Structure 1
Amino acid sequence: MGLELTIPKFVADKAAIGPNGKTCGKYVDFAEESLLIASLIIEVLAEESSPKPLLNPKLVLRITKETLADENAKAVILKAHSLAVNKGLVYFANAIQKGEENAVFSASGCKLEADLTGDWETDTLRTGCLGVVTINLPRIVYESEKDKNNFFRILKERYEMAARALRIKYRGLKQHGKSALPFITQRSNGDTYFRLEYCSRIVNLAGFRESVETFCGKSINHDETRAFSEELVKNLASFRNKFSRRHGKRLFPAVLHSFEASTRLAQLDVEKYGVAKVKFSGTREHPFYSTTRRLSLQDGDFPIIPSESLEIEHKLKGLNTGGSLIIIELEDKEYTHEDLMKLTEHLVKNRYLEFFTYNRTMTYCSNCKKSWVEALHKCPSCGSMSTLTTFDRFASA
C-alpha cells in the first residue's frame, strides 16, 4: 500500500474524479483529506499490530522535497516512524533524487519509473514486474575456480540465460494471456488494461556478498573486495545494455529478497561442494545466501549508520536500476521514533539510500497475547515456552 503525503505535481492540476464518475475540482483540492486518510491508515495499523506483529499490508511511504517542507506531512511521517521503530512494517521510498519524482516501488523493492516514454502514467501505471530469475553467484565463483575471466564469462552466459527465460515467459503471456489472465487483459478503446510490454524483468543476484568475499578471500569492507564488487556491477551494467536490445528494455539486474531461492541455492551448493568449502549465511542446518542488503547501526544512544557501510552502498548503486531494498537492522536496541526520523531525513536528504526499511526481530506469546522487541525463548509474562512465535521479516535472506 503506497502512501503519498503531498499531492504530486504531475497530478495536482488534473481533474479529480468523484462519485458517479463526475469531476469535482482538482486533485490538489483534496490535499488535506488525503493526508488525513494516510494518518488514519497508520493509526489503524498501529492499533492492529499492538498485540501481535502484522506482516501485511506493507506500507510504502514516499518522501519528497514537498513532504519534508510540509509540517503537517512531517507529523504523519513521525507517526509512521513510531510504527517503524516498534513493529517494522513501513518502507521508505526516497523520491528526492533527481529523476525519481515519478518512481514507484513495491514492498519487494521492484521499481518502475518514467524511463521508456517519459510519461509517468504510461510507464508506471497498469504494469508491473513480469518475473524474477535468480542467478547463483557463489556457484559461478566455484565453477570459475576464482579465475576472473572465467567468472565473468560464466556470469554473462547465466545472465543471457535468465534474459531468455524471461523473454519466453513474456511470449507465453502475450500468446495465452487472454485465457490465462482474462481480467487484466480485457480491452478498452483498443488497449489492454495491463500493459505487459512495459513490465520490468528482473535478473536477481543471490549471494552477492558471499560471492565477492569468497572470490577475494577477504571481507566486503576490504579494498580488494570492494574493487571486485565495483567491477562486478560495471559488468552487469554492460550485460544489461547488451541484452536489453534483444530481450526487453526493462531488463534489470538487482538484489531483491527471495526466501526460496536464497535457501535452495545454498543447499544445492552445500550438497555439491561440501559445507567446508561453501561460504553461506545462516547455520549449517539452515544455510542460505543473502538476497538482501543489510546495514547495522553503530552502538550508541542515537541511530547512526557507519560511513563505510554507506560508502559501499553508494558504490553498488548500479544494482538499483530495477529496484533495491536496504534493510536497516534495529536489533534489540531501543530508539525513539524522533531519533529514527532524524536518521531517515539524513539518509534521504543526503541521497544515501533509495528504498529502505527498519527491521525488528519480535517475539509473540499466544497465551498472554503480548509481544516483545527481541528474540525470546521463554515468555517474560507467563513463563510459557511453547506458545512463543518469533517474527523476522528477513530471517533467511
Structure 2
Amino acid sequence: MRDARIIAALPTKAETCVLKNNGIYEKFSHEKIVKSLLMVGAPLWASEKIASQAAAAAYDGISTAEIKMLVYDALCEIKEETADRYLAANKLRVRTSRDKIETFDQTKIEDTLVVETGASRELAYSIASDVWKELKKLNVEYLTAPMIREIVNTKLVEHGLETLRKKYTRLGIPVYNITSLIQNGSRDNANMIHNPETVHKYVADEALKQYALLNLPNELADAHMSGDIHIHDLEFFAGRPLNCMQHDLRLFIRHGLKVDGTGDHTSVAGPPKHMETLMNHAGEIMLAAQQNMSGGQAMSLWNIFVAPFAAGMPYEKVKQAVQMFIFNLNMAYAARGSQVPFTSINLEFSVPKFLQDEPAYGPKGKLVGTYGDFEEETRLLQRAITETLMEGDSDGKPHLFPNTIYTIRKESLKSEMEEDLMRVHELSAKYGSAYFVNMLASYRGNMANYMGCRTALQDNWTGEWEKDCFRTGNLAYVTLNLPRIAYQSRDDTEVFEYLDSYMDMAVKVLNLRRESALNCLNKYNMLPFLHQEFEDEMYYRIENSTMSFGFVGLNEMLLSYLGRGIEDSESHKMGIKILEYINNRTAELKKETGLRWSVLQTPAESTAYRFASLDKEKFKEEAITQGDRGAYYYTNSSHVPVNSDVLLPEKIRLEEKFHPLTPGGHIFHAFMGESYSSPESLMSLTHKMAKKSDIGFWAYSSALSFCIGCKTLMKGLNEQCPTCGERDDVEWYDRITGYVQQVGRAKSSSGGWNKGKMQELKDRRRFEQ
C-alpha cells in the first residue's frame, strides 16, 4: 500500500505512473525518452519511434530501470554503438569515491590507467573496452568505483600486466573486518584500548600496510609475508618511517617550543621561566614528536637538565611539578589511535663527571653556571620522580609512563647514595616498573640512552656523547626468523648462508626505509617537528640514527640445529658465534655505507607469535616452538626460555654474553615471585649485576592484580580479590616484553595481548627471594 508521501506525488489524472529509484512516482514522459536518446546521438525518427514503443509497453508502476532496458533493447536493433552510449549514460550509474553519483564514462577508465600506471593510450583503450563489455552484462542499477576498479584489475591480470595491476589496485579492508574491529577490537597492541580512535587507526593501518607491501620489491614483500623476516611498523613505512628518538631538552629550554615545528598552526611558547612550565613543555615535546614518529620518545639526563629550574624551590613544590609531568603523560590520550604517548626518561643519581663542567641553562634559557653546580637539585628531582611513581595514581594503580630508567654508575653505588638507591628498589619491589642501566659494564663509555623497552644509543658511533645519543634514535629495525634458518640448514655453511641471505633482505628493506625517511623529512615536508631548525641545524640528526637487525628464537634455532637449547654450553657457544657473525656484518656495512648499523634484541610483542605460527604451518612437527596449539611462540631474541628451571645467577651468566653483542638494545628480565619482593634483596642483586656482570639493562618484573571495586593492589595474577571477593573487575598487570602494561582482566584472561603472549605469561617461571 502506497504511503502518504507516494500518494501525494501521484498524477491527478489516470495516467501511467513510473516508480523512480528514490521511491517517488511520476507520470510517464514521452518527451524525456526522446531527449535522452537525442543526447546520445540517436536520430529523431528513431527516438520518437522508440519512445512510442516504450509508452505502449509501459504499465502503471513500471520502474525507470525497466523503461531504460526497453529503450536499450529497441535501440540495439537500430544501432548497437548508440545503444551502448545510451546504456552508459542512463542505465549504468557510478557511485564514486568523491561521494557523487555520475554516469558511466569509459574514457575515465582510460584516463586513470594512463595517469596511474603509465599505460599507453592504446593499451588503456583496449583494457577499458574489455571492462565495458563486462559491465554491460551486469544487471545492476548502480556501479561503485571499487567494483569497476576490481574488474579493471582482473583484465590487467588476464593480459599479464601484473606490474600495472599493482599500481592500479585499490587498498582497503573488508567490511567483515571493520565490523569485527568495531565489535571486538584487536589484540595486536597491548597499549591500545578499544575505542573509536583505535578502530580508525587499525583501518588506516591496514590500507597503509598494503601500500607498503605493494611498493616493496616482490621478493622483500614475500619474505615478510612468508615469515623469513619481519618488517616492523609497515603501516608507517611510507609516511612515518622513523622509529624511536632521544630528545635534547636543553634546546627547548633555550629556544622555546613550537609543537607543530613551525608555529604556523599552534601557539608558540618562548623559553620557560618556571619549573611548572618546563614540566608542561617536557611532556608536550614528546607528545608532539610522537605525531611524527612510529616508536618511543625518550629524554636522557632528564633530572640534570631540569635541575637549574628547581634551584631555590622547596621540595614540596618540586614534587608537585613532577607530579604534574607524570600525570600529564599518563592522561594525554592523544597519540596514535588514542594511545598514551610511549615515553621514557633516563635519570641519574648524581651529575656524572663528563657533565660537571657543561654549561647549564635555566629559566628564560639563560646560562646559569655548569651542571656540576646543581648536584643537590639533580638528586631531589630523582627522589621526586621515584616517590611520585611509588605513590601510584589516585586509585593506587601504577603509573605506566614514562618508562623510568635509572642509570647505575660507580658513584651510584657509594654509601652516600644508598638512601636514593634503596628508594628506587622500593619502587621495584612494589610495582616492578623501574629499569636499570649498567654503566659499569665492560663495553660502556660515558653514555647509554635507552628509549623505552630496550632500543638504545651509546657513544660508540663518533665517540661524542651528544652526537651519538641526542636528537637521533633508532631509524628502523628488521627481525630475522632464526629458527627457520635451522629448519632449512644441514651444516654450519648453510646456516650462515641463510643468515647472509636474510640479512641481505633486511639491508634492502632498511635502505628503502631510510630513503622514505629522507623523503618525508626533506622532500614531502611531512615531519615538521623533526625538521625544525635550532641554530641552523635540523633538529633530527638522521645521519646518526641506527638501522638495526633484530632477531627472534635463538633458543629454538639451537634446539632444532644442535638438539640442545641456549642453556647448553656448546649450544650457547654456537649462539654467540651467530651473534658475532651478525655484528661483523654490521661492521662491514658501516665501512661500506658510512651509516650507523646495529644489532638489537627485538621486543617481539607480536613477532614471536607470528613467526612460530607461520613455521608450525609450514614445517609442521619439524618446527620447535614454545606454547601449545593455537598459542605458539618463540623465545624472545637471545633470552633463556621463560619456563626454564635455571636459577637466577645462571640466567644472568647465560644472557650477559649477548648484551655486548646487541648494542642497539637488550634487556634482562628477572620475573619476581608472587610474594612481596624485599627491596634490600633487590638492591643487593643490583650491586652484584652492576659490578660482576655485563648485563647492560634490566628490570625486576612483578605480576600484579588490581581490584577496581575496592582498590586493592595484589601481587601475582589473582582470579579473585581477597578483600571483597570480586571476580569480574580484577585487572592483571605485568611486563609485556619491555614495559609494564595491563594484561587484561582475570575473568577473560585475555585483554590486549595476543594468544602467544598470553601463553608466555602463563609459562613464566618466577624467582622467589
Aligned to 2:475: 130
Contact 2:659 2:696 in 1 (8 A): no
Find the partner of 2:648 among 305, 308, 325: 305
Cα 1:378/1:55, change in 2 over 3 Å? same
Structure 1 CA distance for aligned equivalents of residues 694 and 461 of structure 2: 25
How far did 1:25 drift? 2.0
TM-score normalised to structure 2 length: 0.48
Structure 2 CA distance for aligned equivalents of residues 260 and 328 of structure 1: 21
Contact 1:14 1:26 in 2 (8 A): yes
Find the partner of 2:388 among 44, 48, 58: 44
Kindly provide the CA deviation profile for residues 232-288 of structure 1, in whole angstroms up to 9, marking residues without a partner as x.
Answer: 1222222222233345542122213120212221221122223x3322223323222
The one-letter code matched in structure 1 to 2:449 is V
Find the partner of 1:342 among 684, 689, 698: 684
Structure 1 CA distance for aligned equivalents of residues 685 and 379 of structure 2: 23
Find the partner of 1:120 among 439, 443, 465: 465
Structure 2 CA distance for aligned equivalents of residues 297 and 270 of structure 1: 20
Structure 2 CA distance for aligned equivalents of residues 107 and 100 of structure 1: 20
Find the partner of 1:195 among 524, 528, 541: 541
How far did 1:320 drift? 2.4
Structure 2 CA distance for aligned equivalents of residues 357 and 210 of structure 1: 24
Contact 2:659 2:694 in 1 (8 A): no
How far did 1:327 drift? 0.8
Structure 2 CA distance for aligned equivalents of residues 212 and 248 of structure 1: 33
The one-letter code matched in structure 2 to 1:323 is G
Listed as ranges, the matches of 1:7-22 within 5 Å are 7-22=351-366
Find the partner of 1:279 among 607, 610, 624: 624
**Structure 2 spans left out of the alignment, 5+ residues:** 1-344, 738-756, 761-769
Is 2:234 the partner of 1:234?
no
Kindly provide the CA deviation profile for residues 303-345 of structure 1, in whole angstroms up to 9, marking residues without a partner as x.
Answer: x832x33332243344222221111111324331011101001
Cα 1:273/1:332, change in 2 over 3 Å? same
Question: Which has the greater radius of gyration?
Answer: 2
Is 2:495 the partner of 1:148?
no
Structure 2 CA distance for aligned equivalents of residues 366 and 320 of structure 1: 40
Structure 2 CA distance for aligned equivalents of residues 32 and 42 of structure 1: 16
Structure 2 CA distance for aligned equivalents of residues 131 and 256 of structure 1: 11
Name the structure with the higher strand share. Answer: 1
The one-letter code matched in structure 1 to 2:438 is N
Q: How many residues in Structure 1 have an aligned counterpart in Structure 2?
A: 389
Aligned to 1:60: 405
The one-letter code matched in structure 2 to 1:380 is P
The one-letter code matched in structure 1 to 2:625 is F
Contact 1:102 1:120 in 2 (8 A): yes
**Equivalent position SS for 1:183:** helix
Name the structure with the higher helix share. Answer: 2
Cα 1:294/1:88, change in 2 over 3 Å? farther
Contact 1:110 1:323 in 2 (8 A): yes
Listed as ranges, the matches of 1:1-397 within 5 Å are 1-48=345-392, 51-69=396-414, 71=416, 73-97=417-441, 99-144=444-489, 146-178=490-522, 179-247=525-593, 249-274=595-620, 276-291=621-636, 293=639, 305-306=648-649, 308-394=650-736, 396=757
**Equivalent position SS for 1:385:** coil
Kindly provide the CA deviation profile for residues 91-114 of structure 1, in whole angstroms up to 9, marking residues without a partner as x.
Answer: 000112353322222222222122
More off after superposition, 201-210 vs 100-109? 100-109
More off after superposition, 47-56 vs 76-85? 47-56
Contact 1:360 1:392 in 2 (8 A): yes
Structure 2 CA distance for aligned equivalents of residues 57 and 322 of structure 1: 20
Cα 1:77/1:294, change in 2 over 3 Å? farther
**Structure 1 spans left out of the alignment, 5+ residues:** none
Structure 1 CA distance for aligned equivalents of residues 613 and 503 of structure 2: 21
Structure 1 CA distance for aligned equivalents of residues 716 and 652 of structure 2: 26
How far did 1:131 drift? 0.9
How far did 1:297 drift? 12
The one-letter code matched in structure 1 to 2:500 is K
Kindly provide the CA deviation profile for residues 71-99 of structure 1, in whole angstroms up to 9, marking residues without a partner as x.
Answer: 1x331121111111121110000112353
Structure 2 CA distance for aligned equivalents of residues 298 and 82 of structure 1: 27
Contact 1:163 1:247 in 2 (8 A): no
Cα 1:188/1:316, change in 2 over 3 Å? closer
Contact 2:406 2:435 in 1 (8 A): yes
Structure 1 CA distance for aligned equivalents of residues 366 and 437 of structure 2: 32
Structure 1 CA distance for aligned equivalents of residues 436 and 479 of structure 2: 25
Contact 1:295 1:309 in 2 (8 A): no
Cα RMSD (Å):
2.3
Contact 2:550 2:601 in 1 (8 A): yes
Structure 2 CA distance for aligned equivalents of residues 358 and 256 of structure 1: 19
Cα 1:154/1:236, change in 2 over 3 Å? same
More off after superposition, 120-129 vs 170-179? 170-179
How far did 1:369 drift? 1.7
Contact 2:555 2:640 in 1 (8 A): no
Structure 1 CA distance for aligned equivalents of residues 697 and 485 of structure 2: 28
How far did 1:156 drift? 0.9
**Equivalent position SS for 1:231:** helix
The one-letter code matched in structure 2 to 1:198 is N
Cα 1:284/1:362, change in 2 over 3 Å? farther
TM-score normalised to structure 1 length: 0.91
Contact 2:635 2:642 in 1 (8 A): no
> Equivalent pairs: percent with the same residue?
29
Cα 1:171/1:357, change in 2 over 3 Å? same
Contact 1:94 1:351 in 2 (8 A): no
